[in-house]
Structure 1
Amino acid sequence: MTVSGLGEGTARAALELANQAPSVHNPPPWRWRVAPRGVQLYAEAGLHSVHTDPDDRDLLVSCGVALHHCVIAFAAHGWRAVVHRLPDPQEPHHLADVELHRAAPSAAEAALAGAIQRRGTVRPASAERAVGLDDIALMGARAARFGVTLRRLEPTPELRTLLPQAVWTYATAPPHVTRTRGGRHSSMLDVPAGNAPQRYPTPMHSRVATIADNGVLMALGTVNDDAVARLRAGEAASAVLLTATVRGLANGLIAEPLERVRTRNRLRELAFDDGEFPQMLVRVGSDFDG
């Protein structure tokens, strides 16, 4: 490691913390590599289903979640990150360079780093409390820093029907196609996401009947629908989840409804008046694993 003052032990500890990020995929589809100025994020393209994620949206959003977790993890260790997204057009699986500089963490960064370790392992005591307007405002403000819009979805009769139908369609689709990665990556320090223990399940569970029953359901949307927008949506999703954890609210990602083009287009109308593309749904304030 050639970043002055950052040793291999610190880098590995930070990346193992980053690998606790929730993922739409199992195993998580990202890999880290230490570089001269920091660390690099790569997508493991073979670890996702071409049936349920043909355009890599879930893969990119998942990697974006891990990217923000990485930034927060390094901040907690005294390193400020400057993120360069998709730095090499010739290598689309190279999603980000994380350039590191010595800096003390802010109070907010320290709190979010603590939330990484708490989220999904111990349910907040106030998991069933009502989600306040101040909670939503803070989560929305933090999502906006990534150019991502957070919109609350009202549990209308249409939504209560639309989402379970979409999840059922997802659940009965062809099975995920995954391949186990073999061999070694390189002589550099590589930390695949799969090396981290899975301390809570990925959000692919079948709470069909209760998606909109309790808590607050929100959509994350972007003006564009390209790789950078999806990566940023994942970063925003991470900020929302960790902020909710800090504020004592249970939380999780819901991806299945957006896998259906028809449902995604309708949610685009309902949440964003056709102005933005929904990239991920986030549920906050109800007691469930995700």
Structure 2
Amino acid sequence: MMTTEQIHPLSEALHWAVGQAVQAPSLHNAQPWRFRIRGQGVEVRADRSRALPVIDADGRELATSCGAALFHLRIALRTKGLDVDVRRLPDPLDPDLIARVMVKPGQGPTEEELRLCAAIPTRRTSRAPYLGITVPDEVIDRLRRDAETEGAWFAPLTEEAQRVQLVALVMEADHLQWSNSELREEFARWMRPNDSSAHDGVPGYSLGLDNVQSHIAAMAVRLMDRGAQEAVAHRDLVAASPLLVILGTSGDEPIDWVRTGEALDRILLRAESEDLRVAFLNQPVETAELRPRVGELAGRPGSPQLILRIGYGAAGPGTPRRPVSEVLE
């Protein structure tokens, strides 16, 4: 039980941990989460006003994003010497309640917990080509253990034939997605000029656009089907990625989507601590008719959730985040 003297430091720790949680990744940087501090814990909640109903009709990636924020929150609280008790989707009548995280004084953090938390401020998505440096087997094993620790499976594509199949799936998905005007409109709404003061969305600089290009990019996306160009670009990125991984789960329910986000986040922080870069190739998983083929490629029972490309190279630019005051209820 917390003493009176501990309440104020606890409140500070919870607010600080929420500040770490909002640094988590999300599709289109939509940041579809809210938080409630309740006594000796924090609730992680879905913000459906930030849903992406075209590309993510069932809310799978929204739940995954909230799961990533949950892991940021968990690891941050541990560095404050707090033990965490996590109840995921605890209320069937309140599906927006992603998790309830209760804390109590515990043992100090481990070196690994400190290392993962220290990676939060510098973790970035790196969309650039990677260097032709092989990722060591022992590092891959650590990434695999991270996924399994959080209830996911980790399937590296080690054969050239698998890489060829993935390229074909990504290119087909690019054509299908970009031919969908509603999907392009949805993406355009989340694009931001480089000089935008917005705290969310995808700034042009994160896509390699200069200031002028960033101001016309949303209009161009709305008007132009760039499927062919995007397909070629992603083909080349796959070729420049030493490690390609399909991340999945045994089930495909909301609890599995949340777990996927936690597994993803542990992997991302591990990768950052190993000076590795990570980006996403999720288009085939987001395309209903292609997702089963991704599962066949992985060769694992269950459902593919994400596709990652991993390698060494330059860090990507940071993207804006909403302040804690905007996400606390």
Structure-2 change in CA distance of 1:195 and 1:105 (3 Å): farther
Counterpart Cα distance in 1 of 2:42 and 2:115: 23
1:48 and 1:176 in contact (8 A); partners too: no
Is 1:219 the equivalent of 2:246?
Answer: yes
Hey, what does 1:277 align to over in structure 2?
303
Hey, what does 1:84 align to over in structure 2?
87
SS at match of 1:52: coil
Counterpart Cα distance in 2 of 1:223 and 1:122: 28
CA deviation after TM superposition for structure 1 residue 197, in Å:
10
Alpha-carbon deviations, 1:97-150, whole Å to 9, x = none? 011122311110000001111212999xx9763211111111111111122100
Counterpart Cα distance in 2 of 1:115 and 1:128: 24
* Residue correspondence of structure 1 range 161-172 to structure 2 within 5 A: 161-172=168-179
Counterpart Cα distance in 2 of 1:120 and 1:127: 17
Counterpart Cα distance in 1 of 2:248 and 2:275: 24
Structure-2 change in CA distance of 1:272 and 1:35 (3 Å): farther
Counterpart Cα distance in 2 of 1:36 and 1:179: 37
SS at match of 2:307: strand
Hey, what does 1:239 align to over in structure 2?
266
Hey, what does 1:151 align to over in structure 2?
155
Counterpart Cα distance in 2 of 1:26 and 1:143: 22
Structure-2 change in CA distance of 1:108 and 1:128 (3 Å): farther
1:61 and 1:231 in contact (8 A); partners too: yes
Which one of the candidate residues 127, 134, 156 is aligned to 1:130? Answer: 134
Structure-2 change in CA distance of 1:15 and 1:131 (3 Å): same
Hey, what does 2:54 align to over in structure 1?
51
> Across the two proteins, how many residue pairs are aligned to each other?
270
Which stretch shifts more, 261-270 or 8-17? 8-17
Q: Sequence identity, in percent? A: 29
Which stretch shifts more, 249-258 or 30-39? 249-258
SS at match of 2:44: strand
CA deviation after TM superposition for structure 1 residue 92, in Å:
0.3
Hey, what does 1:100 align to over in structure 2?
103
Hey, what does 1:176 align to over in structure 2?
186
1:51 and 1:176 in contact (8 A); partners too: yes
CA deviation after TM superposition for structure 1 residue 281, in Å:
1.5
Hey, what does 1:254 align to over in structure 2?
281
Hey, what does 1:190 align to over in structure 2?
none
Which stretches in structure 2 are left out of the alignment for 5+ residues? 191-197, 208-229, 318-329
Q: Provide the aligned C-alpha RMSD in A.
A: 3.0
Structure-2 change in CA distance of 1:122 and 1:237 (3 Å): closer
Counterpart Cα distance in 1 of 2:85 and 2:280: 26
Hey, what does 1:186 align to over in structure 2?
none
Alpha-carbon deviations, 1:221-272, whole Å to 9, x = none? 1111000011001100001111111111111333322111122110101103
Counterpart Cα distance in 1 of 2:316 and 2:236: 13
Hey, what does 1:114 align to over in structure 2?
118
1:128 and 1:249 in contact (8 A); partners too: no
Counterpart Cα distance in 1 of 2:171 and 2:237: 7
Q: Which has the higher helix share?
A: 2
CA deviation after TM superposition for structure 1 residue 276, in Å:
1.3
* Residue correspondence of structure 1 range 181-192 to structure 2 within 5 A: none
Which one of the candidate residues 16, 19, 26 is aligned to 1:23? Answer: 26
Counterpart Cα distance in 2 of 1:282 and 1:91: 31
2:126 and 2:279 in contact (8 A); partners too: no
CA deviation after TM superposition for structure 1 residue 178, in Å:
10
CA deviation after TM superposition for structure 1 residue 52, in Å:
0.8
